[in-house]
Amino acid sequence: MNEQMQATLANLPHKPGIYIYRDEDGTIIYVGKATSLHSRVHHYFQPGADLSPKNRALVSHIASIEFIVVGSAIEALILENEYIKRHQPKYNVRLRDDKNYPYIKVSLTEDFPRVYRVRSFRQDGNRYFGPYTNAGAVDATLDLLNKIFPFRTCRYDASHWAAPPPGKAGEGEKEWKQKLLPRPCTQYYIHRCVAPCVAKATREEYDTIIRQVLLFLEGKHEAVLDDLRREMDAAAENLEFERAAALRDRIEAVEQLLEKQKIINTTSTMDQDVIALASADDETCAQVFFFRGGKLAGRESFTLKGTREAGAGEIMASFLQQFYSQAPAIPGEVIVQHEPDDMAELQAWLRERRGGTVTLTVPKRGDKVRLVEMVAQNAREALEMERIRWLSDSQKTALALQEVQAALNLPAPPQRIECYDISNIQGTANVGSMVVFENGKPKNSDYRRFKIKSVAGADDYASHQEMLRRRFKRMQSAADDATMSEVIASESGGEASPVESFHAMPDLIIIDGGRGHLNADLAVLDELGIHVPLIGVAKEDHGAIGEHEEIYLPHQPEPLVLPRGSQGLYLIQRIRDEAHRFAITYHRQVRSTKTFTSLLDEVPGIGPKRKKALIRHFGSVRAIAAASVEDLAAVEGMTRDAAEKVKEYIGAKESKTVQSEG
């Protein structure tokens, strides 16, 4: 620690504020808030302090400290958020590209307000809805709104279309003169605008439409329907049948939309946001579901960067802070999956921003827990879709392959990459997986799965060796080798045969494992005379430095560590994760089948033929337990007496299993 930092630490005030850490280049690498700057900052530098791996890495890069004193903890929270958005510090959890999120704006400050998409939110007297993560979805919403509510989409100055409302024109009210357009545009003729530009609608009628748009965007759909029904009834009573018919069509359009929405029964009548997280590598997906009046009014998915070693509480707090700093509206209750850091300060800040009561809830039981679980499941699915979108981006995968080539010193970008993994539980149901990526994308038709046959117990090295030996011996054997039938077909049901798949020579082999796995597999390749680049990938914990992926190469004592932002590392991780997923899926299938067949073996009077027929017909123990005696007896080769024995035995076993699982 240099003298300047020591002097700063010695003079830190016991007051609220933010502290700013810079590295040797003067770059801001972290911004934090504190109720007491002295206590919070000193905690980082105390000998033997219990710091997370992320904070230990942060401290090792701090070259200077700055601080700003403010009046309260809430002011510190606001200022911290502004600094994070402006400087995007490396060690802060950051909402990705937050400045680009679109909003829907209702321009209440102009005559005959418009409804349109904007890229920023301001406190200017207009109404904003969002932020949304998908500009295309915003445009689709606007198009739907315009089909239901005929507001104007033109950019004309509308101040001369109708007299100003009483009390709003001031001294200029007497000088006002009406000036209309010569004719309405196409929007009027296709029933998407009521044409106030040619006095087809009064200011009051147009304002009613805008009020309904606002209610709709707020999720108050029943209020919109009530309003429209009153208008329709009034038009019918006044014999305005054409207008009544148009209002009827709007009512039907809203009702059809509501039929597609999911109704949620909650114990609270207030508006709610439900937030859950899903993390992988250095990214976290934050999923927000917006409930209004007990109905799911919408949802959005956001990506947070720099979350690899951050705790769930820190990530949740950072997201709440960054999301609600730019949200035009805050509901009365925010339900979150994890308790955020500095929860009391966040709740006070949310109340201040809303100008009313806000409850920040971390549910432990009941309906709210089920809501959180539903949102968390969607967050996991969104994170997986982000992975799939990345793999489908040809430019990114091409760049990743070039980085892999440069990092591993390959003669060319590896076009075909094979990755291998083993899965078992204490040596039982021991299986292996082989996944194939071509041009950076998964080739499911070439995936293969192996039952490990020659290895007893949990010996990963020997299991890897058997798998590679079988794979490359089959490549070397004749195309009609009978042993090919041992290989289980790929998940996708593609047209490629096992022979065609195993004939292809990979440009790179990846092993899910460290130095020991690499050496074991290298011995097999040498034995068979296969000369293909081989690497092992493992995540290692290095204490103060933190966890990171290490790539092990043959005949090199030190592992290779790629930068965390590297596209090549991202691709290698994705391939490794896919091999792990494929192995786990097969392992569960094998384990389930073993359990099933072993139970049938215990039933008196059930031999190999009947067992095979039952497996083919029902597929699972639970299906047999749920079947009637008549259904069991109807299976080929079964009798009623045998069916009763199966029902009695399997039913009793399944009941005990369900009770123990419950």
| Confidence band of 506 (pLDDT split at 50, 70, 90) | very high
DSSP secondary structure letters along 595-621 = HHHHHHHTSTT--HHHHHHHHHHH-SH
Query: Long-range contacts made by residues 468-477, C-beta under 8 angstroms, separation at least 24?
Result: 468/420, 468/521, 468/524, 468/525, 469/524, 469/527, 469/528, 471/434, 471/502, 472/524, 472/525, 472/528, 472/530, 473/528, 474/498, 474/499, 474/502, 475/502, 475/503, 475/505, 476/528
DSSP secondary structure letters along 216-260 = HHTT-HHHHHHHHHHHHHHHHHTT-HHHHHHHHHHHHHHHHHHHT
- Would the pLDDT of 233 be above 50? yes
Q: Which one of 27-41, 277-291, 608-622, 640-654 scores highest in mean pLDDT?
A: 27-41
pTM listed for this prediction: 0.55
CB atoms within 10 A of CB 12: 20
pLDDT, average across residues 113-132: 86
> Superfamily assignment of 408-566 in CATH?
UvrC, RNAse H endonuclease domain (3.30.420.340)
Predicted pLDDT of residue 552: 93
The pLDDT tens digits of the residues spanning 323-335 come to: 998 888 899 999 9
Predicted pLDDT of residue 99: 52
| Confidence band of 657 (pLDDT split at 50, 70, 90) | very low
CATH 3.40.1440.10 domain extents, the chain: 3-92
- Would the pLDDT of 172 be above 50? no
CATH 1.10.150.20 domain extents, the chain: 602-661
> ω into residue 563 within 30 of 0, thus cis?
no
Q: What dotted CATH number matches 602-661? A: 1.10.150.20
Q: What dotted CATH number matches 272-389? A: 3.30.420
CATH 3.30.420.340 domain extents, the chain: 408-566
- Tell me the fold of 3-92: GIY-YIG endonuclease (3.40.1440)
| Confidence band of 652 (pLDDT split at 50, 70, 90) | low
- Relative to beta strand 416-425, strand 428-438 is antiparallel
pLDDT, average across residues 445-473: 85
CB atoms within 10 A of CB 128: 20
Higher pLDDT, 571 or 612: 571
Predicted pLDDT of residue 362: 93
The pLDDT tens digits of the residues spanning 358-370 come to: 999 999 888 788 8
The pLDDT tens digits of the residues spanning 173-206 come to: 567 788 999 999 999 998 889 999 999 999 999 9
The pLDDT tens digits of the residues spanning 380-417 come to: 888 887 777 777 777 788 889 999 999 999 999 999 99
